[in-house]
Structure 1
Amino acid sequence: MGLLGILLGLAVLIWFAYRGWSVLLLAPVAAMVAALLSGQPLLAHWTQTFMGSAAGFIAQFFPMFLLGALFGKMMDDSGSVSAIAAWMTDKLGVRHAILAVVLAGAMVTFGGVSLFVAFFVIVPMAQTLFRAAGIPGRLIPAAVSLGTSSFTMSALPGTPSIQNAIPMPFFGTTPFAAPGLGLIASAIMLGFGLWWLGLQASAAQRAGEGYGAADTDPMIAARDPLVRERATTARDFDPAEIGHGAATAALPPVWRAALPLVIVIAANVLMSLVILPRVDADFLALPEWGETSLAGVGGVWSVIVALLAGIAALLLLSRDRLPALRQTMDAGANASVLPALAVASLVGFGAVVAALPAFAAVADWVLTLGGGPLVSLAVAVNILAALTGSASGGLTIALDALGATYMDLAADLGLSPDLLHRVAVISAGTLDSLPHNGAVVTLLAVCGMKHGDSYVDLAIVSIGGALLALVAVIALGSVFGAF
């Protein structure tokens, strides 16, 4: 009955979440279903297990949700994201339309701008370029996804994404874990995605297929409550806040628009590799500081400081292009709350499941998969990200349940925690892109497309490229270790 309870709880969560029910309601209900069929105390699991784990996630990662959403909204309203997109359009133009869309998305998201903020700027840019180039509009979601939510989310060393931060407290790593493997994985994802999109664009041209799409107002998606409920479990920005605040009427020069992104990246490098390694943080072992260590919090600190530096730079450089600063900052702050609580609720559900006696059989099955701990870690994270439709939720559930076990295995086998970090993050960004994923649903809605129009190409680019990169990282890491 215990295993049946786990499966039934997952079924309740997946089915109703796909139909637009709030995860804030579904996660505790699904957790109680699993606990009930396992003969476990319901109220104790809700208030102690579920809420304890959810609160722990908020305590660790809410500053990143808050600052990331705030930075993204300020970059949007200041016209900085639009200025970068316009510059990329001008430099690469219609002839390289696909590359321009991919690189524009990659530039802003690697610099710390939220995925959903990027969607609402990059999609109109892509529509203009693809129409002029005669490239089918059905390929826009795949191109935007490749640039905004593939290698810049999980593979590029130092990316400030929440997914790249989640393994850091578990493994004592930094945002730059296994940089060489991350660069190789990024090249595979980018190269494979551009190859596929180029192949499809050429085939469409030979077949005489033109743009063939009716552009829609992206803000329609932002106001759709169904899209919102799905989106907030997938990324760190509530799309309902996109329309709040006030945007500038005049775009900044591209150097001024891009400099805050450069500062975020530079501050992340300095904090992770130069400043924090020299800090005496022995005081963190005391009870009043949670009996932790610099390795347990340093990675999150690095990203927090980097985002703060980016916000400060943006205020200095573009304050005159933020006509309603308080409203913009309020919208950015508000945009962080629902995603953080939604993912925390998924984490709470995972904690209840992991505490059930039947979960021991699931854990044993995962840990005894052939191929070693890297393969089993990849499988565990992929399954949970696929089931929850959330890279961050699936990754946290997996590491909450099995992170300590994998650290013990790594110590016994001489595996670097950096290698575990990179494998886990890339795994979170593969099967999370199944049709029910909130980012997929939101992107298709912003583009005015249906799953039948664009999902196959999006899946090949997002899932296929990530799986190839994951296989390469596991193979190289198994032979050469982390580098």
Structure 2
Amino acid sequence: MSVVVALAALACLMVAAYRGYSVILFAPLAALGAVLLTDPAAIAPVFSGVFMEKMVGFVKLYFPVFMLGAVFGKVIELAGFSQSIVATAIRYIGSARANLVIVAVCGLLTYGGVSVFVVVFAVYPFAAELYRQGNIPKRLMPGAIALGAFSFTMDSLPGTPQIQNIIPTTFFKTTSWAAPMLGILGSLFLVVVGLFYLESRRRAAAIRGEGYGINLVNEPQRVEGSKLVSPLLAILPLIVVGVSNFWLTRLIPLWYGHAHSVSLPGLSKPIETKVPSVTAIWAVEGALVLGIVVVLVTAFGAVRRHFAEGTKAAISGALLASMNTASEYGFGGVIAALPGFLVVSDALRVVPNPLVNAAISVSTLAGITGSASGGMSIALAAMSDAFVQGVHAAQIPLEVLHRVVSMASGGMDTLPHNGAVITLLAVTGLTHRESYRDIFAITVIKTLAVFFVIGVFYTTGLV
């Protein structure tokens, strides 16, 4: 019965998210409903002592990353840099390679620190024009955007500043550059297999004589390339974010040491910080700040007109995204404390291989919650100690566990109720019925990439 209660709570949250209800509201309701069926007297203490503690702890650590990433993406958009990058990719790669162009541009933007949600808005107008010129069915476009924005640069490539690559650092004391060779090989797997699938779908549509489509919704206006800024200037902030993230990851431990203490006159006790647990977070935050400064310095005239309203919208979006994930994190903390979850955890431990165990656990919870960061947060909050013990016993580096967990979080998360999927379809004016088949195919390929990386590690020992 305890397992049924835990699964029912998870199902409630999944259905609520699928139907578009607020996760911030339904995560505590689902969690406390499970507590009610387990121990009614514990509702108030669990809400204050577990749910809110976990939720606030997540916001404390990660909200600055969400906020700075959203602001960076917004100023990139306001400056016209994202449009310039897309147009340049089209010009040099060629409109005949529409899928490659979209994947390359989405990958460049997300690896440069632009939020996956922002990338959808930035790329769509040019992707639509590219598909229209190539007479490629518009319904295939979401699959290409999903491969470029929601896969290899989100959680596979070493150093990516996306939150899915940052969360494991606080649990495993690793950096965002963990297991670089495995990350690169996993990314190559995703790109090659993903593009092969997308091209096969494009060719099949061409054989049938299917064109771009008619009576379509939310068609963008055409953008003139003559109005775009220099591509070298446009890519500069992305390079700054990537390079500064790399160096700050290495320099912060040298500046602060393993532990750092600060005493201020108004504090009753010093601020004690364990530097390894926050190095990756501080590095990403510093890199994003530098990226924002570069955009403001190089394109202040273009940004200034809409900076106030644009940053308000960006911060509102970041607050909503972080609170959604934090609510799921609090939900996971409550569920992890219930007897039913302990039964499920013990069942998952039956899988003898620690990397496969971690991959299945994280991917399953990411799929149930419809959130890569949320599912990973739930899994790590409940099982990170067991994962660490398992890889230590098997003499596997924690960097490998980091990369596997990060990639697994981006596996089955893109089920129909995933927020990024819903946003992608809404922006492109398409429906699940029209386009989800290709998004799901990318989801399957992403999941296979995790086990490909595990296989490469055991075969070659590469990290």
Q: Does TM, normalized by the shorter one, top 0.5? A: yes
Find the counterpart in structure 1 of residue 436 from structure 2: 455
Kindly provide the amino acid, as one letter, of the partner of residue 113 in structure 2. Answer: G
Q: Structure 2 vs 1, CA of residues 292 and 401 (structure 1 numbering), >3 Å: closer, same or farther?
A: farther
CA contact (8 A) 1:24 1:345 kept: yes
Matched, 1:145 2:146: yes
Q: How many residues align?
A: 451
Classify the secondary structure of the residue corresponding to 1:25.
helix
**Once superposed, what is the RMSD of the aligned Cα atoms?**
1.8
Kindly provide the amino acid, as one letter, of the partner of residue 126 in structure 1. Answer: A
1:349 pairs with one of 331, 350, 355:
331
What percentage of residue pairs aligned between the two structures are identical?
38
Question: Cα deviation per residue 1:417-447 (whole Å; 9 max; x = unaligned)?
Answer: 1011000011011111111111111111211
Find the counterpart in structure 2 of residue 272 from structure 1: 249
Classify the secondary structure of the residue corresponding to 1:45.
helix
Tell me, in whole angstroms, the C-alpha distance in 2 between the residues paired with 1:272 and 1:139: 38
Give the superposition deviation at 1:294: 1.9
Give the TM-score normalised by the residue count of structure 2: 0.93
Tell me, in whole angstroms, the C-alpha distance in 1 between the residues paired with 2:75 and 2:109: 13
Find the counterpart in structure 2 of residue 29 from structure 1: 29
Superposed counterparts of 1:333-372, under 5 Å: 333-370=315-352, 372=353
Give the superposition deviation at 1:270: 0.7
Unaligned runs of at least 5 residues, structure 2: 221-225, 264-268
2:257 pairs with one of 281, 288, 291:
281
CA contact (8 A) 2:172 2:388 kept: yes
Find the counterpart in structure 1 of residue 447 from structure 2: 467
Kindly provide the amino acid, as one letter, of the partner of residue 13 in structure 1. Answer: L
Farther-moved stretch of structure 1 (308-317 vs 440-449):
440-449
Kindly provide the amino acid, as one letter, of the partner of residue 432 in structure 1. Answer: D
Give the superposition deviation at 1:81: 0.8
Give the superposition deviation at 1:394: 0.1
Give the superposition deviation at 1:293: 2.1
CA contact (8 A) 2:258 2:276 kept: no
Find the counterpart in structure 2 of residue 415 from structure 1: 396
1:393 pairs with one of 374, 388, 392:
374
Tell me, in whole angstroms, the C-alpha distance in 2 between the residues paired with 1:16 and 1:332: 25
Give the superposition deviation at 1:58: 0.5
Tell me, in whole angstroms, the C-alpha distance in 2 between the residues paired with 1:326 and 1:141: 31
CA contact (8 A) 2:94 2:101 kept: yes
1:257 pairs with one of 215, 220, 234:
234
Find the counterpart in structure 2 of residue 119 from structure 1: 120
Unaligned runs of at least 5 residues, structure 1: 220-248
Find the counterpart in structure 2 of residue 134 from structure 1: 135
Superposed counterparts of 1:73-472, under 5 Å: 73-217=74-218, 250-273=227-250, 275-284=251-260, 292-322=273-303, 323-370=305-352, 372-460=353-441, 462-472=442-452
Find the counterpart in structure 2 of residue 69 from structure 1: 70
Farther-moved stretch of structure 1 (177-186 vs 199-208):
199-208
Tell me, in whole angstroms, the C-alpha distance in 2 between the residues paired with 1:290 and 1:479: 45
Find the counterpart in structure 1 of residue 223 from structure 2: none
Kindly provide the amino acid, as one letter, of the partner of residue 445 in structure 2. Answer: G
CA contact (8 A) 1:72 1:113 kept: yes
Farther-moved stretch of structure 1 (145-154 vs 402-411):
402-411
Tell me, in whole angstroms, the C-alpha distance in 2 between the residues paired with 1:76 and 1:463: 27
Find the counterpart in structure 2 of residue 477 from structure 1: 457
Classify the secondary structure of the residue corresponding to 1:396.
helix
Tell me, in whole angstroms, the C-alpha distance in 1 between the residues paired with 2:272 and 2:342: 28
Tell me, in whole angstroms, the C-alpha distance in 2 between the residues paired with 1:385 and 1:335: 21
Find the counterpart in structure 2 of residue 57 from structure 1: 58
CA contact (8 A) 2:259 2:275 kept: no
Give the TM-score normalised by the residue count of structure 1: 0.90
Give the superposition deviation at 1:411: 2.0
Give the superposition deviation at 1:306: 0.8
Tell me, in whole angstroms, the C-alpha distance in 1 between the residues paired with 2:402 and 2:187: 15
Kindly provide the amino acid, as one letter, of the partner of residue 282 in structure 2. Answer: W
Tell me, in whole angstroms, the C-alpha distance in 1 between the residues paired with 2:216 and 2:158: 35
Kindly provide the amino acid, as one letter, of the partner of residue 254 in structure 1. Answer: P
Tell me, in whole angstroms, the C-alpha distance in 1 between the residues paired with 2:286 and 2:219: 32
CA contact (8 A) 1:373 1:406 kept: yes
Question: Cα deviation per residue 1:335-391 (whole Å; 9 max; x = unaligned)?
Answer: 211111111000000000111123221111111214x11001001001100100000
Question: Cα deviation per residue 1:396-416 (whole Å; 9 max; x = unaligned)?
Answer: 010010112211222222111
CA contact (8 A) 1:110 1:159 kept: yes
Matched, 1:11 2:27: no
Tell me, in whole angstroms, the C-alpha distance in 1 between the residues paired with 2:388 and 2:394: 10
Tell me, in whole angstroms, the C-alpha distance in 1 between the residues paired with 2:457 and 2:261: 32
Kindly provide the amino acid, as one letter, of the partner of residue 143 in structure 1. Answer: A
Q: Structure 2 vs 1, CA of residues 114 and 213 (structure 1 numbering), >3 Å: closer, same or farther?
A: farther
Give the superposition deviation at 1:290: 6.7
CA contact (8 A) 2:217 2:430 kept: no
CA contact (8 A) 2:167 2:377 kept: yes
CA contact (8 A) 1:150 1:189 kept: yes
Give the superposition deviation at 1:22: 0.9
Classify the secondary structure of the residue corresponding to 2:339.
coil
Give the superposition deviation at 1:214: 4.0
Q: Structure 2 vs 1, CA of residues 411 and 465 (structure 1 numbering), >3 Å: closer, same or farther?
A: same
